[in-house]
Amino acid sequence: MAFSLGSILVTMLGLLFVTFVIGRVMPLDPVLAVIGEQASKATYDATYHAMGLDKPILVQFLYYLNDVIHGNFGVSTLTSHPVIDDIRRVFPATLELATLGTIIGIVVGVPLGVLAAVKRGSWIDQLARVVALVGYSMPIFWLGLVGLLVFYGILGWVGGPGRVSVFYDGMVPNVTGMILIDASLAGDWDVFWDAMSHIILPASILGYYSLAYISRMTRSFMLEQLSAEYITTARVKGMSERAVIWRHAFGNIGVQLITVIALSYANLLEGSVLTEIIFSWPGIGQYITNALLSADMNAVMGGTIVVGLVFVLLNVFSDLLYRFLDPRAS
């Protein structure tokens, strides 16, 4: 996979421009979001001019680009705080949720995909394929609501919506913004286990979607390797089946899996909006949604740009790691 700084810059510039244009053409008036609908026409016109909305859109974009380069995404009309400060506050919650979901996807999805490939055509293979198919087709909002009803409302096995119970809110210092890590650093295990009871269900739901993708790709990669001649040669030489599968076949798909896992992680970071809303998870997905409903376009564009930047950086990281582990890709 080709990699260049120029392609990254072009991608980010395109993302900025598309996000900016969408923010300007949406049927939401950013001036009214600032001054309210009861303001006079004189106030409206003055604010319209002060926000630079009377200038050509290309000029507006250049001003916005300059602000973004300097880390200025504007002020949120919803929170009255700089957007960049809001993002620093909410993004760790999404990062924590997506990370745990990806870990679940890897721990379950990779062995499931390997086993399905090794037992091709068996009931295990059929089960793995059904699990992956359901993971792709099941609406995440429905799965979240059913999960809350069953595991929280009926069985009481997990905590409810939110990151932590009200009793424990604010009891550990905010060091990283990720409450499991902050509770561990503070040595407050009561908060840690309470937070774990709240995150495990939404993380498992995201992890299910992640493992559906990871298991399917792992199965596909393993089937390709298991049909290769070097695998037949290894078996003829008397090598154990365990060594053939894990040392040779799986060892040769590790580099490909890096890209799959990175894409899955990026998709969870940008696609956790519905999960965050259902579970009242105070992450960037819920932040962008609330901002959109309030016509807070500074927050919407700032959040979208940050998510897009993370997606690009994860792809770049996986590309670099791919090239490092497999020099043939250079």
| Confidence band for 150, pLDDT divided at 50, 70 and 90 | very high
Q: Which of 14-18, 56-60, 160-164 has the highest mean pLDDT?
A: 160-164
Q: How far apart are CA 293 and CA 311, in angstroms?
A: 24
Q: Which residues make beta-bridge pairs with 75?
A: 82
| Confidence band for 90, pLDDT divided at 50, 70 and 90 | very high
Q: Return the pLDDT at 204.
A: 92
Q: Considering the entire predicted model, what is its pTM?
A: 0.83
Whether the pLDDT of residue 254 is over 90: the answer is no
Q: Return the pLDDT at 200.
A: 94
CATH of 83-329, one of 1.20.120.550, 3.90.1170.50, 3.30.1280.10, 1.10.3720.10: 1.10.3720.10
Q: Lowest mean pLDDT: which of 22-31, 118-127, 320-329?
A: 320-329
Each domain of the chain, given as residue ranges in start order, spans: 5-69, 83-329
Q: How far apart are CA 281 and CA 36, in angstroms?
A: 29
- What pLDDT digit, counting tens, does each position of 190-217 carry? 999 999 999 999 999 999 989 999 999 9
Q: How far apart are CA 88 and CA 91, in angstroms?
A: 6
Q: Which of 289, 295, 293 is closest to 34 using CA atoms?
A: 295
